[in-house]
């Protein structure tokens, strides 16, 4: 009897324990279910929030792009040293959110430096905001060592080639097809718009024209070489089929003339211009520009006393050593009659810290004269722009070799001008027969500064991002 009671009691205890275990299991399952549900809700919330954060980022980036497009449409670039909003009432709604943009000009913007702007763009979606900041700056056509609109001489004529003797030390851009003969070396990036979106000739395809060792059977190819005849070297690579860059027309000469008439020097007739000419005691007049009037008298002008722009309604010849900044423009011909040097320079070009800057602008050609001083080399420190024709050598196809034409600066031209003639010999080297061999170097200071008026009339349309960062992540 007692044994039965004890067994029943044990059974009741076991049943109670089992029931309790089941109840605790249900409780634990409920807790786990609620927890999983909470995690699911939180995960969904996080997913929605992350999507809104990404949308806010894209809105902010869209605001930056619109600001850059707005700046590129402004001529001249705005100079107000205030923060402003270019798109009207802000914020501007776009899809599920909105964005606001502020553009602040750098207080150092001026006639000799590129225009730099800080663009702050905030995208907002729901309760999430993202703010991006970029610094953008424009450039001028002098950002290229070599810019050419058309690779042929005016009126047709033979194509000037990049040849085996050429070591092109800077970026090259052409709206036309670039011709390569032999083994030129390009130390900067090479770019061409031939066959690109703006090329109106449908048969054109992005390509180089290789000489191919034959005066008649040339080869069009987008390849980096044309063995066994042409082996160029592209140290920074190349881009073909780009959008064209539109070189300003001769209409800009009216603006340059106005600048010269209002604070500069405006001359009528043909003039000889000399930089730092010798005074009566044989000492260079550094910091001065001198011009010889039609009656033979010299007029000496301190560069610090005018806005740095000389305009000649006629033609001019120029030589000497520049100590300062100067732009000389003409609606006619510009002749270089001897070396044009910066005072703060040596045989390798401008020295560190050099602040000398020369701009030569011609409505026609910039010509290296065929005279006695230029028979044995010619050195030019300048940013040169020939709006209708190009940089050329006078009588380039006649006479004996004249040494090397050395340029430290930039060459911008409507048509590519010839500087000499020659052949590629059996060893693959280019032999100069007439005119000059070439030694061109880009003045990298021109990426950030330029001669007077260049940032007024020769600005590239696109702005380059100089920096990018996210300021706030909400």
Tokens linked to 121: 């763009």
For residues 209 and 219, is the Cβ–Cβ distance under 8 A? yes
Does the N-terminal peptide bond of residue 311 adopt cis geometry, omega within 30 degrees of 0? no
Mean pLDDT of 82-99: 65
C-alpha 340: how far from chain center: 25
User: Residues 96-136: pLDDT tens digits?
Assistant: 788 888 888 888 777 788 888 999 988 888 888 899 999 99
Tell me how far apart the alpha carbons of residues 339 and 381 are, in angstroms, rounded to a whole number. Answer: 8
Closest by Cα among 451, 385, 394, 392 to 414: 385
For residues 292 and 336, is the Cβ–Cβ distance under 8 A? no
DSSP 23: H
User: Residues 298-324: pLDDT tens digits?
Assistant: 999 999 999 999 999 999 999 999 999
Q: Domain boundaries in the chain?
A: 2-126, 142-175+245-459
Class of residue 255 by CB neighbours under 10 A (exposed 0-12, middle 13-18, buried 19+):
middle
Phi-psi region of 355 (alpha: psi -120 to 50; beta: other; left: phi over 0): alpha
Mean pLDDT of 461-468: 85
C-alpha 245: how far from chain center: 11
User: Residues 452-463: pLDDT tens digits?
Assistant: 999 889 988 778
Phi, psi values for residue 14, rounded to 5° = -65, -40
For residues 189 and 171, is the Cβ–Cβ distance under 8 A? yes
71 Cβ contact partners less than 8 Å away, ≥ 6 residues apart: 77, 78, 103, 117, 136, 138, 463
């Amino acid at each position: 009897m007692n044994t039965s009671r004890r067994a029943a009691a044990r059974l009741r205890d076991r049943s109670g324990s089992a029931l309790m275990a089941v109840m605790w299991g249900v409780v634990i399952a409920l807790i786990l279910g609620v927890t999983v549900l909470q995690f699911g809700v939180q995960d969904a919330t996080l997913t929605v929030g992350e999507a809104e954060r990404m949308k806010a980022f894209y809105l902010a980036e869209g605001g930056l792009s619109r600001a850059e497009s707005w700046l590129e449409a402004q001529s001249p670039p705005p100079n107000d040293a205030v923060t402003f909003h270019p798109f009207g009432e802000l914020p501007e709604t776009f899809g599920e959110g909105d964005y606001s943009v502020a553009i602040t000009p750098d207080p150092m913007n001026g006639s000799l430096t590129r225009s730099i702007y800080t663009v702050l763009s905030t995208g907002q979606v729901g309760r999430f905001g993202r703010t991006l900041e970029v610094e953008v700056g424009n450039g001028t056509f002098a950002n290229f060592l070599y810019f050419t609109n058309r690779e042929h001489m005016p009126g047709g004529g033979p194509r000037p080639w990049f040849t085996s003797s050429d070591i092109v030390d800077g970026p090259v851009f052409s709206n036309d097809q670039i011709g390569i003969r032999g083994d030129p070396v390009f130390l900067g990036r090479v770019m061409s718009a031939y066959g690109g979106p703006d090329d109106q000739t449908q048969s054109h395809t992005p390509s180089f024209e290789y000489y191919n060792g034959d005066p008649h059977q040339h080869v069009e190819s987008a390849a980096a070489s044309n063995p066994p005849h042409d082996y160029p070297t592209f140290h920074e690579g190349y881009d073909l089929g780009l959008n064209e860059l539109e070189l300003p027309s001769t209409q800009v000469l009216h603006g340059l003339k106005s600048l010269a008439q209002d604070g500069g020097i405006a001359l009528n007739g043909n003039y000889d211009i000399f930089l730092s000419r010798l005074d009566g005691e044989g000492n260079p007049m550094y910091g001065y520009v001198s011009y010889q009037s039609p009656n033979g008298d010299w007029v000496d002008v301190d560069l610090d006393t005018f806005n740095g722009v000389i305009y000649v309604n006629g033609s001019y010849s120029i030589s000497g050593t520049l100590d300062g900044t100067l732009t000389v423009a003409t609606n006619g011909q510009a002749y270089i009659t001897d070396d044009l040097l910066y005072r703060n320079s040596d045989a390798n070009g401008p020295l560190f810290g050099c602040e000398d800057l020369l701009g030569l602008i011609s409505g026609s050609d910039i010509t290296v004269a065929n005279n006695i001083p230029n028979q044995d080399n010619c050195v030019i420190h300048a940013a040169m722009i020939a709006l209708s024709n190009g940089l050329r050598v006078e009588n380039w196809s006649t006479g004996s070799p004249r040494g090397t034409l050395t340029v430290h600066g930039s060459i911008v031209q409507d048509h590519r001008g010839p500087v000499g003639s020659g052949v590629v010999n059996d060893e693959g080297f280019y032999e100069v027969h007439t005119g000059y061999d070439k030694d061109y170097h880009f003045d990298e200071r021109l990426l950030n500064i330029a001669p007077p008026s260049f940032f007024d009339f020769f600005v590239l349309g696109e702005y380059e991002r100089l920096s990018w960062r996210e300021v706030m992540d909400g």
